[in-house]
């Protein structure tokens, strides 16, 4: 199954804040899938307080509505072809050429980050970045 990388940093920094994407940034990400494709969706922390915000934004872009729970930290939707596999945190330092993946999502569960890091290394936008999991290459 194909993995696609979605980065909301240009949306937040360039389009909404009208400034360059900083060389050091951090945030959360979720891994979603449908029948044919998996999506690693990264968002800066300033744009997404919860992993649920990323799920909502991504699915909204695919025309899939849903709703938040009372605490506003889980976004549920009725689209049988779509599934949230889990989430985690990320930190990227372009000056050092490093992307670090760590932690998990309280709402959607964690992920096995080592195999995901291996898959991400094949993404054209990340080929020149060293991807580490919890500080390990």
> In angstroms, rounded to a whole number, what is the distance separating the alpha carbons of residues 45 and 73?
14
Q: pLDDT class for 105, splitting at 50, 70, 90?
A: very high
Question: What are 120-129's pLDDT values in tens digits?
Answer: 999 999 999 9
Please give the pLDDT value at position 130: 96
Q: Which residue's structure tokens are 């300033």?
A: 46
Report the candidate in 125, 135, 128 with the shortest Cα–Cα distance to residue 42: 125
The count of structural domains within the chain is 1
> In angstroms, rounded to a whole number, what is the distance separating the alpha carbons of residues 77 and 65?
6
The domain spanning residue 65 has which CATH number?
Answer: 3.50.20.20
Q: Which residue's structure tokens are 């990340």?
A: 126
How many percent of the chain have pLDDT more than 90? Answer: 96
Helix (H) or strand (E) holding 60: helix 51-61
Note the pTM of the prediction, 2 decimals: 0.94
> In angstroms, rounded to a whole number, what is the distance separating the alpha carbons of residues 47 and 7?
12
Please give the pLDDT value at position 1: 87
Query: pLDDT at residue 137 above 60?
Result: no
Please give the pLDDT value at position 136: 60
Report the candidate in 38, 68, 120 with the shortest Cα–Cα distance to residue 57: 68
Q: pLDDT class for 10, splitting at 50, 70, 90?
A: very high
Please give the pLDDT value at position 55: 98
What is the CA 104 to chain-centroid distance, rounded?
Answer: 11
Eight-state DSSP code of residue 72: S
Query: Where in the sequence is the domain holding 68, given as residue range(s)?
Result: 2-133
């Amino acid at each position: 199954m194909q993995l696609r990388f979605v980065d909301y940093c240009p949306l937040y920094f360039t389009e909404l804040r009208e400034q360059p994407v900083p060389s050091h940034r951090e945030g959360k990400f979720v891994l979603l899938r449908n029948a044919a494709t998996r999506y690693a969706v990264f968002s800066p922390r300033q744009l997404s307080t919860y992993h649920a915000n990323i799920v909502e934004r991504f699915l909204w872009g695919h025309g899939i509505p849903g709703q938040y729970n009372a605490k506003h930290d889980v976004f549920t939707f009725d689209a049988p072809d779509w599934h949230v596999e889990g989430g985690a945190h990320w930190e990227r330092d372009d000056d050092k050429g490093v992307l670090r993946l760590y932690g998990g999502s309280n709402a959607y569960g964690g992920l096995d980050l080592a195999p995901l890091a291996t898959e991400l290394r094949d993404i054209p936008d990340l080929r020149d970045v060293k991807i580490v999991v919890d500080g390990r290459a």
